[in-house]
Amino acid sequence: MKINIPDYVQLTIDILEENGFEAYIVGGAIRDILLNKTPMDFDIGTNALPEEVEKIFYNFKPISVGKKFGTIVVPQKKGNVEITTFRNEGVYKDGRRPEWVNFSSNIIDDLSRRDFTINAMAYSKKTGLIDPFNGKVDLENKTIKTVGSPEKRFKEDYLRILRAVRFSTELGFNIEENTFNAGKKQSKNISNISQERIRDEFFKILLSETPSKGIKILEKMEILNIILPELVETIGFDQKNPHHEKELYFHTLCVLDNVPPILNLRLAALFHDIGKPYTQTLDNEGIGHYYNHDKIGGEITKNILKRFKASKDLIEKTIVLVVEHMNHHNNFSEKGLKRLINKISKEEIFNLLNLQKADIKCSNKNASIDHIIEREKKVREILENKEAISIKDLDINGKDLIEMGFGEGKIIGDILNYLLEKVMEEPELNEKEKLKEKVEATFGPLKDLKDRP
């Protein structure tokens, strides 16, 4: 078989081979190429030692950040290439790192230490495809299967259980039965993994085409109750409300699948109703109500994302969407809509609208999103017309007011806020001279301003 390799990657292989070494594209790049996908990056395996790689690629100014583990990065204009010396490993004692790592001259040694068969292939034009564990067959059968014993492979690094779920979700593959059962049996050990490593795999699951598949696998493998026990509370939860046809868990998964793959939006979809199990009240007719579930959900979301050690920016953006998702019931005036855009931000307002559309569609098959579509249209008009939604959009600023005679201090902010209110009602007022006239008419003749303290 022949595989198309980018010129800069092939050049790297050619240079190694010209110097008498073996060189192969290895790992995920081969998997992606065989799936007709464009690899995000390319890794090369070689029997050249790190010092030899540095010497060969001296003119490329190689980066030695992973030299201890045999990896040298070779920068090129079209992309960096990681070159790693073949290696084999000793026993894993801490569920993450091997007791020892030795460099090897054998590509099979290197492939045999990898996690899944679909990641344990190598290729070069000179040799062709090297596939000792039938990874190509597993790709064709859409199967996730460990290299060798799944119990042993997972004990080496418990994160591999989450990686199995992630690959299954991203690729739409099934996890082979023995691999699945071993992962489920050892799932309790995931609690020993750092939150950062768990977070990274979990976020990749959320950004896949159908993230609900991954959530369901996490549930079946008894991982969900370890990494996200708050979501487990939604499983089997009857909303007892005629406007909600699905139990809370399946409603949540439906919303998750129906928003674009933007991380804070996917997180908000997963957590938007997570406060409901804690806020349910039943009226005299047995109908469920969930007052303040959005605000409670925001607090739960904050706690979860802090536990995941997410960035402050991601936490804040996610919480805003969770807390505001219920405002689709509000009948906003144009002025109110501008205030909402300013509160949410021009960038995030469309994420909120997408969340609301998915929330409504996943609640009741007869529910209409026409009002959200109309709201979205109006928001676009406001932004395209560059109408003022914040003080910084005014055609006048604090410096202008000071030049008019106002002293620095609270009065400047008060005047600007007053002008913003007027401009949001009448966009045509947003011209400097008109705004000055408004100030004069409201706060007194300009000639008197100089005398003000």
pLDDT at 93 over 90: no
Residue-level pLDDT at 198: 97
Does residue 328 or residue 231 have the better pLDDT?
231
pLDDT band for position 445 (50/70/90)?
A: low
Question: C-alpha 257: how far from its chain's center?
Answer: 14
Output the pLDDT for position 407: 82
pLDDT in tens, 278-321: 999 999 999 999 999 999 999 999 999 999 999 999 999 999 99
Pairwise CA distance, residues 145 & 431, whole Å? 66
Residue-wise pLDDT for 317-362, tens only, equals 999 999 999 999 888 999 999 999 999 999 999 999 999 999 999 9
Confidence of residue 83 (pLDDT cuts 50, 70, 90): very high
Distance CA 191, CA 159 (A): 10
pLDDT at residue 241 tops 50 = yes
Domain ranges for the chain: 7-141, 150-322, 391-449
Cβ–Cβ < 8 Å for 172, 166: no
Return the percentage of the chain with pLDDT > 90, whole number: 84
Q: Please report where in the chains the tokens 């201890």 appear, as a residue.
A: 68
Please provide the CATH number assigned to the domain covering 150-322.
1.10.3090.10
Residue 199 and residue 309 in contact, taking contact as beta carbons nearer than 8 Å: yes
What architecture does CATH give domain 7-141? 2-Layer Sandwich (3.30)
Average pLDDT, the chain: 93
Q: How confident is the model at residue 443 (pLDDT cuts 50, 70, 90)?
A: confident
| Rounded average pLDDT over 170-182 | 98
- Residues written for the chain: 453
pLDDT tens digits for 400-437?
998 888 888 888 999 999 999 999 999 999 999 999 99
141 CB contacts (<8 Å, ≥6 apart)? none
d(CA 147, CA 131): 11
pLDDT band at 102 (very low <50, low <70, confident <90, very high): confident
Beta strands in 40-100 (DSSP E): 42-46, 63-66, 71-74, 81-85, 87-89
Fold identical between 7-141 and 150-322? no
**91 pLDDT higher than 80:** no
Give the long-range contacts of residues 262-266, CB within 8 A, separation 24 or more: 262/351, 263/203, 263/206, 263/207, 263/314, 264/314, 264/317, 264/318, 264/321, 264/348, 264/351, 265/321, 265/351, 265/354, 265/355, 266/206, 266/207, 266/211
Q: Kindly provide the b/e burial profile for residues 1-32, where b requires at least 16 CB atoms within 10 angstroms of the residue's own CB.
A: eeeebbeebbebbebbeeeebbbbbbbbbbbb
Contacts of 242 (CB under 8 A, 6+ apart): 287
Let me know if 211 is exposed, middle or buried by CB neighbors in 10 A (0-12, 13-18, 19+).
buried
What is the pTM (predicted TM-score) of this model? Answer: 0.91
Question: What pLDDT shows up at residue 238?
Answer: 95
Mean of pLDDT values over 370-398: 95
